[in-house]
Chains A and B, each alone.
Chain A
């Protein structure tokens, strides 16, 4: 099994629908992150969580919310999807110190039509 598992791998949804992307990890890491990848823009941070009770906004959190259900689970929700949220979404984990690097999931490709 992968260290960081994201579901679904692909999803097409309609404008205005609520959608949840899920992430689970077996690394035992405290820190979890949601990133969005768009062509030419690299990865941009949406939300991050240092533990179950600590959730913080990243640089592009508008239109998104998250839930840290357990140390191993971190979900991203789009409350009312819009077409410019079409992107590749990645979950990642790390343990301090952060100079050990991140472990990424395989991504969820989301299309909003």
Chain B
């Protein structure tokens, strides 16, 4: 079945460091891919998405490129801020697997001043 695998956290970085959070997936069809962010005490918010191979999603300085050949959708940011501290979830929605959105386990990011 469909699945999403994320790198385990927590990830701890200093402010202005480069961020990469790895995400790989398995899917039966041609999924759409998402990154969601969860700030402390809040629900998940859609951060960015990509709907087909080679698409790049971007928002708030974060980017992720849909790589079909490596079944990956890694999240990157060039210079993190303390306010980026949150839990990040990779997810997929696969029409070939039905309606469902499948979420990864989440990666917690701590950014130190």
Contacts from A to B (Cβ < 8 Å): 4, 31, 35, 40-43, 45, 48, 50, 58, 90, 92, 94, 97-99, 101-107
The digit string for B79-113, where 1 denotes a CB below 8 A from any CB of A, is 00000000001000101000111011110000000
- Contact partner, B89, options A42, A99, A107, Cβ 8 Å: A42
> At the interface, is chain A mostly helix, strand, loop or mixed?
strand
Contacts from B to A (Cβ < 8 Å): 32, 34, 36, 41-46, 49, 51, 89, 93, 95, 99-101, 103-106
Residue of A nearest to B48 (CB): A101
| Listed A/B pairs (8) with beta-carbon separation below 8 Å | A31-B99, A40-B105, A41-B105, A42-B89, A45-B100, A98-B101, A99-B32, A102-B101
- Contact partner, B43, options A40, A45, A58, A104, Cβ 8 Å: A104
Least Cβ–Cβ distance between A86 and chain B, in angstroms: 17
Q: Contact at A98–B49, with CB atoms within 8 Å? A: no
Least Cβ–Cβ distance between A15 and chain B, in angstroms: 26
Q: Which residues of A contact B36 (CB under 8 A)?
A: 101-102, 104
